[in-house]
Structure 1
Amino acid sequence: MKNIVIVMLIFLTTSRYGSCAKILGIFGAPGRSHYILGSTLLKALAEKGHDVTMVSSLGEKEPPKTKGTYRDIVVTEIMKKVEEVEKQQRPKMSDWENMNLFIATVFMGHTMSKIMEPLLWDDKIQNLIYSNEKFDVVIVEQFLNDAQKALAIHFGAPLIVMSTVRANSWVNTLVGNPAPASYIPMLLTDYSVPMTFSERLLNGILSVMTELFYHFYVYPNENHRIKKYIPNGVDISDVLYNVSLVLMNSHPSLNQPVPYVPNMIDIGGFHVQPPKKLPQDLQEFLDNAKDGVIYFSMGSNLKSADFPPEKRDAILRTLSKLKEQVLWKWEEDVLPGQPKNVKLSKWLPQQDILAHPNVKLFITHGGFLSTIETVYHGVPILAIPIFGDQKLNARTAMNNGFGVVLPYSEITQDRLTQTIKEVLNNPKYRDNVKKRSEIFHDRQVSPMTAIYWIEYVIRHNGAPHLRVAALDLPWYKYYLLDVISFLVLVSLVIGCISYYSVRAVCRKICNKQKGKKLKQT
């Protein structure tokens, strides 16, 4: 009898929590770092036994071996769009660094919306749309692609959004998450925390202008795409607030603590893998570096080879005078004037390199994945931020004491030498990054709790009980403008009544006094 009960319990548990689900993941952003996050999550779901369809602009060279199925749909037209945009209007690093914040917001909103459009009209996607296929959940990366979220409604599935960066205006509005501009900097800024008066002023203006730009330009365009490419396309307003869950690639050890509504979950660091064995040449290079190694990479979107000659020469003169060995991600075959202590490679296994104990400094663009990985492995940074969230990530690293920031425009041999020596010779940077790393690793559950929450949304039919009531309020009610208006109106009415009442009493008193004087005369 005892054995029968155990078997029944196992059956009930597996039938409820271990059933295979059909999952559609849409990660079309044309960036290797974005793809790494999406593919890591979708592969983990497939390994758990789910049937996964992954839509992206890159794809896998070889199908991953998993317990469930993993289907790749690659939209190559997205990368073609990127090439077209780069030929027409690719800004230089200096242009990006000095770009006005609102112009940068408009540029990203307009350009990325055009680049992501093929993900709806591509033949492979249209075949999927008209296939009558159903999914149990749709996971969409949040990256200026709101029309794609309508696919969740089309396939009759709950919608999960994954943010590759910290909480920001792109996701806060989707789930009614409060984000006061008084103390939370906008994503594209590099403002301090707490902000100065001028920073709060500009942050507030940027916040309002960004909202207006999205509501009057971006969302109408995305609404047009929904109607154009998806049969019986719903309205964008029904899409935007249809989010069951937001997975945040974030963690308090990395970011400023901010409010979260119940359906926002931190999973920062879920993509980090245990260190693997390095190729022999890299292993020997790192092992034999008695004075340590400086790792230098500008990420997957920016290229070190794009540094103009004057910046490149300043960097080379600085590196050549260091006793440390330098491992530099350089995207071309030759580096003119390459110093003897510098080893080049077009591609480097970044996580495995940062895990090596001889790595003393990471010179980085300040991308968020690089920030996560450097904190995970406890390596201080010298950040040269260019665009996007890089400036805010770099400022956060500086505020938390594990990095210094060198603006691109200020790169000279003297400044670069000074900042490198500051980080290498001052133990506070390594001590602070080790403390941050301890906080990062001190977790109740693994960041792959993302799988639990995805299955949770499936089990509970979209988990509407996590949805906050703010999403049901129009903006004027959310900000209590109707209440404030009522109170102002009541105050004015009471004020007017009081004014005229006092005026009438004063007149009566004055009239009586005049009457007395007339009688006396």
Structure 2
Amino acid sequence: MKNTVTLVLILLLSYNGNCAKILGVFTAPGPSHYLLGSTLMKALAEKGHDVTVISAFGEKEPPKTKGTYRDIVATEVLENRKEMMKQREMNMFDQADANPFISTFFFGYMMPKMMEPALRNAEVQKLLHSDEKFDVVIVEQFMNNAEKALATHFGAPLVVVSALGANFWLNTLVGNSAPPSYIPMVVTDYSAPMTFCERLLNSLLFVVTDVYFNLVVYPAENEIIKKNIPNGPDLFDVLYNASIVLVNSHPSLNQPVPYVPNMIEVGGFHVTPPKKLPQDLQEFLDNAKDGVIYFSMGSNLKSADFPPEKRDAILRTFSKLKEQVLWKWEEDVLPGQPKNVKLSKWLPQQSILAHPNVKLFITHGGLLSTTETVYHGVPILTIPIFGDQKLNAKGAVNNGFGLMLSYNEITEESFTERIQEILNNPKYRNNAKKRSETFHDRQVSPMETAIYWIEYVIRHKGAPHLRVAALDLPWYKYYLLDVIGFLVSVSSVIAFISYYSIRAVCRKICNKRKTKKLKQK
């Protein structure tokens, strides 16, 4: 009996020694963003850590894990988003033609306002006024820099999760090199190598965004900290303080770019093994002898919001196909629905893409959807609307596993042409399979990588040795403006002295010649 008690005590002590208290903050009002955060936090809880998650969604049922999992759901975020959209009478498809400069101003203005209600939530405020401490705070990077102050408030290292690959919003905060000469801004559809005009516009957008953030966005986020966090620090004391950044990218998906030591690629960490499909879906996919086209515009966009002329063009195209079509349609009825089209308001996307009969994925080109199609080796046709979707769509085209169709170019003819090209040309599926092989060829899974580095930060108390010196330099030193100014000044002085010295010598020589001529006369 004594030995048993001793063993139990040893096990408990061992468990507590490896268990950390982790706070995750994923308040973006988009289901795809929450999917990333919740997948990571549930994996940490399954590892035995005690996890608290602040989000706009929450879990319907508490996950069964080795550690604890506590949800704090800020419903105010979704209510605020809905009200803001209603006031501006916004349809997300209206963003398809948005100018990149306008998109930048839009995101910079909207996102902090959308996420501030999370900090005002009663349960969040209760947590902020408690004596609770955490070993690490994990915050998603999506124009919500004010939430990074939670790490300072709780005296914990900060881990940042980027739902996108390396981008302007992230690179400047960790001192990562991102020359606009070959790294496109996230709201563009450029890809390397860029034309002269693209490099010109990309560089202008880089400068305008940097100025806009420093003069408008960051001060607004600083005010959010002061209003909602007790004894809140200044934004600029936390803005560049991330111990590590988990970047949702991978060479199979993204353009190769530089990364500083504390940027860790974990692209695809949200992808899970396919689960058993509902019987009706399983039978639909199994019985599709000519294959299946899967069509989904993601979680923020709704296919039901397509204007009638676009919807009818799509339906006429589908009605001519021998393939079956599985369409995520958010309403009960689809006027003019062809016999080969099956509808559902929700579909288990990852499990569907894993089915061998799926021949094509028609998508908005969101990064999670693009990641999942590469994981399963399915070619895509993208209809990008906003954000990084155009950039992802261009990447699929450049890498040969998909085509892109602009929203404004959707007609029966253009839609049919691209679908038939992908279905009948084996290069798209072959390239998708090659990309999938590259995606899977890793030493360890992306989730294992993410968990390792989070625990690394906890073990090393923030891992300050990974921080690059660039973060401690003022902007004029970072861009060597002081050195350039010095060299220009020295060169100017040398040129000035040389000019007047040569001029004086020349005058002296001329004067001697004149004197000599006068003597000869």
Give the TM-score taking structure 2 as reference length.
0.97
One-letter amino acid of the counterpart of residue 162, structure 2? S
Q: Which residue of 1 aligns with 2:420?
A: 421
TM-aligned CA deviation for residue 16 of structure 1: 11
Distance in 2 (CA, whole Å) between partners of 1:129 and 1:169 is 30
Are 2:482 and 1:482 aligned? yes
Are 2:411 and 1:412 aligned? yes
2:93–2:301 contact (8 Å) kept in structure 1: no
Distance in 2 (CA, whole Å) between partners of 1:122 and 1:193 is 43
One-letter amino acid of the counterpart of residue 247, structure 1? L
1:363–1:384 contact (8 Å) kept in structure 2: yes
**1:475-494: CA deviations, max 9, x gaps?**
01001110001000000000
Q: Which residue of 2 aligns with 1:291?
A: 290
Q: Which residue of 2 aligns with 1:345?
A: 344
1:379–1:433 contact (8 Å) kept in structure 2: yes
| Residues 459-498 of structure 1: pairs in structure 2 closer than 5 A | 459-498=459-498
TM-aligned CA deviation for residue 90 of structure 1: 4.2
Q: Which residue of 2 aligns with 1:78?
A: 77
Between 102-111 and 454-463, the greater mean CA deviation after superposition: 102-111
Q: Which residue of 1 aligns with 2:3?
A: none
Distance in 2 (CA, whole Å) between partners of 1:350 and 1:508 is 87
- Ranges of 4+ aligned residues in structure 1 off by more than 6 Å: none
One-letter amino acid of the counterpart of residue 154, structure 1? H
**1:247-288: CA deviations, max 9, x gaps?**
011100000000000000011111111111100000000000
Q: Which residue of 1 aligns with 2:516?
A: 516
**1:282-302: CA deviations, max 9, x gaps?**
000000000000000000000
Computed over aligned residues only, the root mean square deviation of the Cα atoms, in angstroms, reads 1.5
Q: Which residue of 2 aligns with 1:237?
A: 236
Distance in 2 (CA, whole Å) between partners of 1:292 and 1:18 is 52
Is the partner of 1:343 in helix, strand or coil? strand
One-letter amino acid of the counterpart of residue 115, structure 2? M
Distance in 2 (CA, whole Å) between partners of 1:132 and 1:212 is 38
1:16–1:459 contact (8 Å) kept in structure 2: no
One-letter amino acid of the counterpart of residue 218, structure 2? Y
Is the partner of 1:213 in helix, strand or coil? helix
- Alpha-carbon spacing, 1:90–1:400, altered in 2? closer, same or farther (3 Å): farther
Unaligned 5+ residue runs, structure 2?
Answer: 1-5
TM-aligned CA deviation for residue 91 of structure 1: 3.3
Q: Which residue of 2 aligns with 1:174?
A: 173
Q: Which residue of 1 aligns with 2:96?
A: 97
Is the partner of 1:120 in helix, strand or coil? helix
Distance in 2 (CA, whole Å) between partners of 1:39 and 1:370 is 17
**1:2-38: CA deviations, max 9, x gaps?**
xxxxx9xxx89x9699611000000000111111100
Is the partner of 1:63 in helix, strand or coil? coil
**1:36-68: CA deviations, max 9, x gaps?**
100000000001110000000000000001000
**1:73-127: CA deviations, max 9, x gaps?**
0000000111101111243355311111111111111111111011111111111
Distance in 2 (CA, whole Å) between partners of 1:478 and 1:192 is 26
Distance in 2 (CA, whole Å) between partners of 1:126 and 1:520 is 101
One-letter amino acid of the counterpart of residue 104, structure 2? T
Q: Which residue of 1 aligns with 2:500?
A: 500
1:94–1:409 contact (8 Å) kept in structure 2: no
Distance in 2 (CA, whole Å) between partners of 1:444 and 1:259 is 20
One-letter amino acid of the counterpart of residue 255, structure 2? Q
Q: Which residue of 1 aligns with 2:201?
A: 202
Q: Which residue of 2 aligns with 1:217?
A: 216
- Alpha-carbon spacing, 1:443–1:90, altered in 2? closer, same or farther (3 Å): farther
- Alpha-carbon spacing, 1:319–1:18, altered in 2? closer, same or farther (3 Å): farther
Q: Which residue of 2 aligns with 1:315?
A: 314
| Residues 261-272 of structure 1: pairs in structure 2 closer than 5 A | 261-272=260-271
Q: Which residue of 2 aligns with 1:3?
A: none
- Alpha-carbon spacing, 1:431–1:18, altered in 2? closer, same or farther (3 Å): farther
Q: Which residue of 2 aligns with 1:4?
A: none
Distance in 1 (CA, whole Å) between partners of 2:199 and 2:90 is 28
One-letter amino acid of the counterpart of residue 477, structure 2? K
2:183–2:191 contact (8 Å) kept in structure 1: no
- Alpha-carbon spacing, 1:58–1:51, altered in 2? closer, same or farther (3 Å): same
Q: Which residue of 2 aligns with 1:152?
A: 151
Distance in 2 (CA, whole Å) between partners of 1:319 and 1:224 is 51
Distance in 2 (CA, whole Å) between partners of 1:290 and 1:212 is 56
| Residues 313-462 of structure 1: pairs in structure 2 closer than 5 A | 313-448=312-447, 449-462=449-462
Q: Which residue of 2 aligns with 1:136?
A: 135
2:48–2:65 contact (8 Å) kept in structure 1: yes
Distance in 2 (CA, whole Å) between partners of 1:491 and 1:225 is 48
- Alpha-carbon spacing, 1:78–1:93, altered in 2? closer, same or farther (3 Å): closer
TM-aligned CA deviation for residue 231 of structure 1: 1.7
One-letter amino acid of the counterpart of residue 129, structure 1? L
Q: Which residue of 2 aligns with 1:187?
A: 186
1:138–1:158 contact (8 Å) kept in structure 2: yes
One-letter amino acid of the counterpart of residue 384, structure 2? P
Percent identity, please: 76
Q: Which residue of 2 aligns with 1:43?
A: 42
Distance in 1 (CA, whole Å) between partners of 2:274 and 2:56 is 27
One-letter amino acid of the counterpart of residue 337, structure 1? G
Distance in 1 (CA, whole Å) between partners of 2:181 and 2:90 is 31
Q: Which residue of 1 aligns with 2:56?
A: 57
One-letter amino acid of the counterpart of residue 61, structure 1? K
Distance in 2 (CA, whole Å) between partners of 1:65 and 1:54 is 15
Q: How many residue pairs end up in the alignment?
A: 512
Distance in 2 (CA, whole Å) between partners of 1:227 and 1:509 is 73
1:23–1:136 contact (8 Å) kept in structure 2: yes
Unaligned 5+ residue runs, structure 1?
Answer: 1-6
TM-aligned CA deviation for residue 445 of structure 1: 1.3
Give the TM-score taking structure 1 as reference length.
0.97
1:223–1:236 contact (8 Å) kept in structure 2: yes
Q: Which residue of 2 aligns with 1:24?
A: 23
Distance in 2 (CA, whole Å) between partners of 1:387 and 1:217 is 22
Distance in 2 (CA, whole Å) between partners of 1:239 and 1:287 is 53
Is the partner of 2:446 in helix, strand or coil? coil
